[in-house]
Amino acid sequence: MTKKRVFSGIQPSGRLHIGNYVGAMRNMIALQDDYFCIYGIVDYHAMTVHFNPQEIESSILDCAIDYLAAGIDPEKSVLMVQSAVSEHTELAWILNTITPISWLLRVPTFKEKREQNPDYVNMGLLDYPVLMAADIVLYKAAVVPVGDDQLPHLELTREIVRRFNTLFGQVFPEPKAQLGEVRRILGLDGVNKMSKSLDNCIYLDDSKEEIWKKLSTAVTDVRRKRRTDPGNPEDCNIFTMHKAFSKKEDIDYCSRECQAAGIGCLDCKKILLENMYYELEPLQKKQSDLRNNRQYVLETLGDGKRKAKEIAAQTMDEVYTKLGIKTYHQ
Ligand code: SF4
């Protein structure tokens, strides 16, 4: 039986942190067993905010390295760069012509980005969800792994698909959202989302010493003032990290002993460090091997481009046929 397709876009936005890893990457890696996954490094999307042309080439390569090291398997999945498959923007243009501006103006992320970058409200920022719709439907993806903040984008994609199919005839399936197991790790401050700009991250390539330096000062259950106070693991971001990285017996032990004031926060963090580094160490080894084998990474992206283009060209054939212009594309 042919596997259903999954599409997900990856922003080439620099070093990845454990929040990205737990929140998105693990799910993308797990999906590879049951679906045919197409993972696009979405550089066109990255251009909707200020970007540095001197840095984007290496950001894309680093991003590919991180995902390959984490477990994206090019034998099972397609890993490619969005701008290398020109059909993404061809289809986006066509979808633009059937998408009312009012649909785009109501997208919450546009409102947020407009407020964050009042000096750079460009057309691409408004049009971002249409390009995202094109990214997905170009491969007729049935499933899209998303965070809950991305749900309005996916709903918009489904609306655009319905409109296209009604106007021109059935081409695209309506993609469904797949909400991963939500385990949102907060930053080291225990309050905000883990984010590079807030300087509250543990990065995937941090050394064990660097991780310990960060963990040892990370905020825990704020109500636990002294070592002798019983703690509330469910209100502690360190415990959320335990649930994401630690063995069951360690999670149970830390929960029990925290509530009984049997261990201090530093003991608890040391157990976390060992579990976290147990998972990150092999990933870091692969990262370093891949950094020394740039050629392999470039070839993998080249293969991904070819495979993606093959599917994209078939879809565009159908689209041009429905639009009545196929005769001129022979
Ligand atoms: Fe958090 Fe662990 Fe301290 Fe409990 S013992 S408050 S779970 S760091």
Structure tokens at 262: 């049997």
pLDDT band at 146 (very low <50, low <70, confident <90, very high): confident
Assess whether 222 and 299 both reside in one domain.
Answer: no
Instruction: Report the SS3 class of residue 25.
Output: helix
Q: Which residues have C-beta atoms less than 6 Å from ligand 1?
A: 220-221, 224, 231, 233, 236, 238-239, 254, 258, 263, 265, 268-269
pLDDT in tens, 282-316: 999 999 999 999 999 999 999 999 999 999 999 99
In ligand 1, the atom with minimum distance to the C-alpha of 257 is: 5
For residue 203, pLDDT over 90 is answered with: yes
pTM of the predicted model, to two decimals? 0.90
Question: For residue 195, is it within any domain?
Answer: no
How many angstroms does the Cα of residue 265 sit away from the middle of ligand 1?
A: 5
Assess whether 261 and 300 both reside in one domain.
Answer: no
Sequence-ordered list of residues with C-beta below 8 angstroms from that of 141, at least 6 positions apart, any chain: 5, 6, 7, 38, 175
Q: Cα separation of 26 and 44, whole Å?
A: 24
pLDDT of residue 197: 82
pLDDT of residue 294: 96
Question: For residue 255, is it within any domain?
Answer: yes
How many angstroms does the Cα of residue 222 sit away from the middle of ligand 1?
A: 10
Q: Cα separation of 10 and 13, whole Å?
A: 9
pLDDT in tens, 93-122: 999 999 999 999 998 888 888 888 888 899
For residue 275, give Cα distances in angstroms to 27, 45, 87, 183, 266: 19, 35, 43, 17, 14
Do 284 and 205 meet the contact criterion of CB atoms below 8 Å apart?
yes
* Nearest residue to 296 (alpha-carbon basis) of 79, 84, 21: 79
pLDDT of residue 147: 75
Task: Give the type of residue at 236.
Answer: C
> Where is average pLDDT lowest: 24-38, 88-102, 172-186, 245-259?
172-186
Mean pLDDT of the chain: 94
Share of the chain above pLDDT 70, in %: 98
Question: For residue 106, is it within any domain?
Answer: yes
The CATH number of the domain holding residue 133 is 3.40.50.620
* Nearest residue to 244 (alpha-carbon basis) of 178, 181, 177, 179: 181
Assess whether 141 and 261 both reside in one domain.
Answer: no
pLDDT in tens, 164-192: 999 999 999 999 998 866 567 899 999 99
* Nearest residue to 73 (alpha-carbon basis) of 17, 33, 131: 33
Q: Cα separation of 108 and 18, whole Å?
A: 26
Please tell me the total count of domains within the chain: 2
How many angstroms does the Cα of residue 76 sit away from the middle of ligand 1?
A: 40
> In the block, which residue shows the tokens 């704020």?
222
pLDDT of residue 111: 86
pLDDT of residue 183: 63
Question: For residue 143, is it within any domain?
Answer: yes
Which of 212, 236, 241 is the pocket-test mutation for ligand 1 (most atoms within 8 Å of CB)? 236
Do 65 and 287 meet the contact criterion of CB atoms below 8 Å apart?
yes
> Of residues 3, 111, 176, 193, which has the active-site annotation?
193
In ligand 1, the atom with minimum distance to the C-alpha of 264 is: 5
For residue 159, what are the domain limits? 5-184+294-329
Sequence-ordered list of residues with C-beta below 8 angstroms from that of 210, at least 6 positions apart, any chain: none
Helix axes of 248-259 and 237-245: crossing angle, nearest 10 degrees: 160
The CATH number of the domain holding residue 267 is 1.10.240.10
Instruction: Report the SS3 class of residue 109.
Output: helix
pLDDT of residue 243: 95
Given strand 143-146, what is the order of strands in its sheet? 78-81, 36-41, 5-10, 143-146, 176-179
* Nearest residue to 242 (alpha-carbon basis) of 196, 216, 274: 274
> Where is average pLDDT lowest: 50-54, 149-153, 177-181, 254-258?
177-181
Phi, psi of 76 (to 5 degrees): -100, -35
pLDDT of residue 75: 96
State the virtual CA torsion across 235, 30, 160, 315 in degrees, nearest 10: 170
Assess whether 31 and 156 both reside in one domain.
Answer: yes
How many angstroms does the Cα of residue 247 sit away from the middle of ligand 1?
A: 16
For residue 142, pLDDT over 80 is answered with: yes
The reply to whether 113 belongs to the active site is yes
